[in-house]
Structure 1
Amino acid sequence: MIPEAPPTPQEIARAFELDQEHANATPADQEQGYEVAQRIFADYVASGASTKDPDLLQFIKGQANSGSVTNEDRGVHRAFWSYESKLEGVGAPVPNRFLARACGESRGLQVLEDTPVGHQLNSYFLDNRYVVEALAEAFKFDPVELRSIHGKAWDTLSERFAQETEGLAVSFAADITENSVIGNIEIPALLKNSKVGKEGIKFATRLPLEGHEHLPPDVHGFMSNDAVRCQLRKGDDDPQKSPEEFAKKLAAIDVPEDQKEAHSAIVARLSEAKSYEELHTAPPEPKQKGPSKRARAFMPGMSLENGIPPAAPARGPTGHGVMNPVAAGLAPKPAGIEH
């Protein structure tokens, strides 16, 4: 199967199963929180750390900095995810976190939560109140600081995961937000990764039309190109702002060679448009050259009432062409099989 192919019905069903399994495993009372806390303390001891004044925060930092972010049972391609996607034919939004894991199982993709350190940290439920309360019996820490260290640990793992990518980076996301992990950490690291770059970032989920209805189809199609899409962020084409502002953001990105002509044309159109509505309005038909009807009335044998109709203009392109051809590669490529 193509790594970035759209998710199959079986993979989508598995994603919902994984979501439910995670919910079932989440501690729901003090007893379950204590069981997880005991397991964390056992891992702490097994790491060789001192049991005198045990330091939970330092342990979490150490795991994030040195734990393995590669699953030896998976292939070279890696999956990244963000939020959720509305997929065609699916009644509810699909959580991309579990969609990436489902496709990771079936396609052999590396998924951070299924790597040794990702799985370990994910199973600690350090954002769960019952676990945090139970851990307070074995460790001294500030709960606020723990939340901060926990978040930074995942940021560190995400960056390392992206930096160690050697194959394709398959993204499960709709619009990429500026402050998300994928938008703020992972994709910037992938773009800097010489083994990946913009050509190595692929999307298994389509760019939604929702939120982009104000754009002409060809502009949306251009944005759907994977190498372009990975460099844009949600709100870059804010309909409350002018097309010219979006043009400036588009002009700043680096596009593949086969998209450069389309890129230049779209940036020019957006720069000249006063509103997004104007982009949807067909340009006026050019006025016919030659004498006006009034002028023809003063020609021999012609009058305002009985003007001789002018000769038919030369035919333009037939139905096999258009007057303003769209640049190659402008429309979105057909989706393959779809964080």
Structure 2
Amino acid sequence: MEQAQADAEPGTKQAGAALAGRIYQDYLAKHGQDKDPPGLLQFIENLAQSESVTNEDRGPHRAFWSYKSELEGESRAVPNRFLARACGESRGLQVLEDTPAGYQLNSYCLGNQAVMLSLAQHFDFDAAELDAAHGQAWDTLSDRFAKATEGLAIPFAADITKGSVLGATEMPALLQNSEVGKEGVKFATPLPRHEHLPPDIDAFISNNPVRCQLFKGDYDPEKSPGDCAQRLASIDVPEDQKAAHKEVLDRLEAANSYKELNAPAPEPKPKGLSAQAKAFLPGVAVGRGVVPAAPRGPTGHGVINPVAAEIAPKQTGIEH
């Protein structure tokens, strides 16, 4: 799929002109009879706002993607857009690029230089404005695609970044979608191990209902555990994870650094008399419930504490 997408990208002036001609024919089919036809930018905007974002041949569950994944047996990272599309075909998932609107916009290759130069023969537009309109069209489609989700939302992504379409547009729409929410998001790809976090805290943020509400920057190792705690405190967790949530927050807030957070817990101090103290009472077994005698000599109250009767050795005639 990745190779097919690369092959479809116009690589010559002639190929760009051919694709621009097809776009113009689509435009005429839509607006050729209009008395006041829109320009190219409006045509792209109308496409994003009105064309279908549902593939009638697929099921209710929808796939979302961002960046790349490292797959077992592959020597290089694979773009998640193609992983999502492959699973969409094999498992009946809705994928934006395979819906009527997504397929049409994707096939136009509006970011291609040869296509833009050829489109200038049919339309009057500014290249920077077309680029902005192209990006906005994908944002509009992504928002509509997420809001149309009625089944599970299945992201193909590792850490979610704020600047990605998944983080900025799709996930907020999914969390506000009453048919989905945090319980309806099931990640297809595991969260990478974050070595600066203790394993149990890393496992906690890997839980789907928690993970879908966090961004990569929320647990940035360059920030403090307190910053992470502040962000974690703002999310809504399922009832069965509230106790774990509170424990994680307490530990993060108590640590000044991730190094301190990962430090092993100190060995607990033994209760009762130390081995050294017992050495001064030969042959006597001192239980935990017995208070040992204080050393002879003046105390803070100016008195001598007597040796406890139950643990004192028998008198031998020599002052003990």
Q: How does the TM-score come out when normalised to structure 2?
A: 0.86
Q: Distance in 2 between matches of 1:240 and 1:60?
A: 41
Equivalent of residue 48 in structure 1, options 21, 31, 50? 31
Equivalent of residue 113 in structure 2, options 109, 129, 133? 129
Q: Quote the residue 2:242 is aligned against.
A: 260
Q: Distance in 2 between matches of 1:62 and 1:37?
A: 18
Closer, same or farther: CA 297–39 of 1 in aligned 2, 3 Å: same
Give the SS at the match of 1:235.
Answer: helix
Equivalent of residue 102 in structure 1, options 70, 86, 97? 86
The structure with higher relative contact order (CA 8 Å, sep 6+) is 1
Shift of 1:52: 7.3
Shift of 1:311: 6.7
Asked if residue 238 in structure 1 is aligned to residue 220 in structure 2, the reply is: yes
Cα deviations across residues 46-101 of structure 1 (Å, max 9, x unaligned)?
01344877611110010011000000111101010001011233221111011110
The answer to whether the 8 A contact 1:176-1:233 is kept is yes
Equivalent of residue 124 in structure 2, options 110, 118, 140? 140
Q: Which residues of structure 2 form unaligned runs of 5+?
A: 290-320
Q: Distance in 1 between matches of 2:235 and 2:147?
A: 21
Q: Quote the residue 1:197 is aligned against.
A: 181
Q: Once the two structures are aligned, what percentage of the paired residues are identical?
A: 60
Aligned residue runs from structure 1 range 311-322, under 5 A: none
Q: Distance in 2 between matches of 1:292 and 1:69?
A: 74
Q: Distance in 2 between matches of 1:33 and 1:141?
A: 17
Closer, same or farther: CA 233–311 of 1 in aligned 2, 3 Å: same
Equivalent of residue 271 in structure 2, options 289, 295, 308? 289
Q: Quote the residue 1:26 is aligned against.
A: 9
Give the SS at the match of 2:7.
Answer: helix
Shift of 1:277: 1.7
Q: How many residues align?
A: 288
Give the SS at the match of 2:186.
Answer: strand
Shift of 1:253: 0.6
Asked if residue 228 in structure 1 is aligned to residue 210 in structure 2, the reply is: yes
Q: Distance in 2 between matches of 1:116 and 1:109?
A: 14
Shift of 1:123: 0.3
Equivalent of residue 133 in structure 2, options 149, 158, 162? 149
Shift of 1:285: 1.7
Shift of 1:32: 0.3
Q: Quote the residue 1:36 is aligned against.
A: 19
Q: Quote the residue 1:216 is aligned against.
A: 198
Q: Distance in 1 between matches of 2:270 and 2:15?
A: 81
Alpha-carbon RMSD: 1.9
Q: Distance in 1 between matches of 2:107 and 2:16?
A: 12
Shift of 1:310: 6.2
Q: Quote the residue 2:315 is aligned against.
A: none
Q: Quote the residue 1:87 is aligned against.
A: 71
Q: Quote the residue 2:104 is aligned against.
A: 120
The answer to whether the 8 A contact 1:45-1:51 is kept is no
Q: Quote the residue 1:6 is aligned against.
A: none
Q: Distance in 1 between matches of 2:204 and 2:42?
A: 46
One-letter code of the match for 1:110? Q
Closer, same or farther: CA 20–311 of 1 in aligned 2, 3 Å: farther
The answer to whether the 8 A contact 2:64-2:155 is kept is yes
Q: Which residues of structure 1 form unaligned runs of 5+?
A: 1-17, 303-307, 314-339
Give the SS at the match of 2:47.
Answer: helix
Shift of 1:273: 1.0
Q: Quote the residue 1:319 is aligned against.
A: none
The answer to whether the 8 A contact 1:86-1:92 is kept is yes
Q: Distance in 2 between matches of 1:98 and 1:275?
A: 39
One-letter code of the match for 1:28? G
Closer, same or farther: CA 243–171 of 1 in aligned 2, 3 Å: same
Cα deviations across residues 125-163 of structure 1 (Å, max 9, x unaligned)?
000000000000000001000000110000000000000
The answer to whether the 8 A contact 1:78-1:170 is kept is yes
Give the SS at the match of 2:263.
Answer: coil
Q: Distance in 2 between matches of 1:197 and 1:52?
A: 42
Q: Distance in 2 between matches of 1:184 and 1:154?
A: 12
The answer to whether the 8 A contact 1:273-1:279 is kept is yes
Shift of 1:239: 1.2
Q: Quote the residue 1:168 is aligned against.
A: 152
Q: Which has the larger radius of gyration?
A: 2
